[in-house]
Amino acid sequence: MTEITRVPIQPVAKGSLTKLWIGIILAIAVGAGLAWAAVPRGIDLDVLVEGTGPRPKEGEVVWLNYKGKLADGTVFDESRPIPLPIEGLFPKGTPFPIEEGAAIPGFFEGLKQMQKGGKYNLFIPADKAYGAEPPPGAPIPPNADLEFEIEVIDIMSKATFDRNLKILQQTMQSQMDNGGAGDPGRAPQGAPAPAPVQ
């Protein structure tokens, strides 16, 4: 006959069950936090002033005033006025073509959500910015989140942009051929009138 030795089970100390549950809750919270951190984040666009009209599409050119900042507020880039000698061909601001393969994917993703006349704050997480490899010599550290203040001045079709650029080149060539005579702020006589911005 087999003999069984009995071992008494000790009662759970007061408060141990509470500590066990707290430990389980903390383990779940840490796991959820790690899972959230591993999920790629998207851009965040805050509308400061509503724009009007359609949003830019692939192949169009957006004219902007912008300021790019790091998380600590350091400005790493901003738009500068481009002196274009013919009034009416191009709006003020810096032109950005909307096209795939851009250096900062999040920037162009954000532009596609904006409208003419609007002002925006655009937050771009590092994985949608330059990631671990910012441009050589840039004041942007690796894995930096970026923030842009953006004002959309205008949106122009690529066809209109190309046509106006051709007019500009012809005008500049004409001025060079004439020894620089004429008013650089006006289109020469006979030049086609600029198309309305689309």
pLDDT in tens, 60-80: 999 999 999 999 999 999 998
pLDDT bin (cut points 50, 70, 90) of residue 168 is confident
User: How many CB atoms are closer than 10 A to CB 93?
Assistant: 19
Mean pLDDT across the stretch 169-179? 82
Whether 141 is covered by a domain: the verdict is yes
pTM: 0.67
Q: What is the dihedral of CA 50, 53, 57, 63, to 10 degrees?
A: -70
> Are the C-beta atoms of residues 142 and 183 closer than 8 Å to each other?
no
Mention every residue, 6+ apart, whose C-beta is less than 8 A from residue 134: 140, 141, 142, 144
Question: Residue 115: its pLDDT value, please?
Answer: 95
CATH number of the CATH domain containing 109: 3.10.50.40
- Number of domains within the chain: 1
Whether 134 is covered by a domain: the verdict is yes
Q: What's the whole-number average pLDDT of the chain?
A: 80
Q: Which structural domain range is residue 82 located in?
A: 44-159
Mean pLDDT across the stretch 154-182? 83
* Tokens encoding 51: 């724009």
Whether 113 is covered by a domain: the verdict is yes
pLDDT in tens, 108-154: 899 999 999 999 999 999 999 999 988 888 899 999 999 999 999 99
Report how far residue 109's alpha carbon sits from residue 114's, in angstroms, rounded to the nearest whole number: 10
Question: Residue 170: its pLDDT value, please?
Answer: 87
Burial (CB count <10 Å: 0-12, 13-18, 19+), residue 179? exposed
Residue 84 confidence (pLDDT) above 90: no
If we measure between CA atoms, which residue out of 87, 64, 56 comes closest to residue 157?
Answer: 56
Residue 18 confidence (pLDDT) above 90: no
Higher pLDDT, 191 or 23: 23
Whether 12 is covered by a domain: the verdict is no
Q: Of 24-33, 46-55, 167-176, which one has max mean pLDDT?
A: 46-55
Whether 153 is covered by a domain: the verdict is yes
Residue 171 confidence (pLDDT) above 90: no
Residue 38 confidence (pLDDT) above 50: no
Whether 178 is covered by a domain: the verdict is no
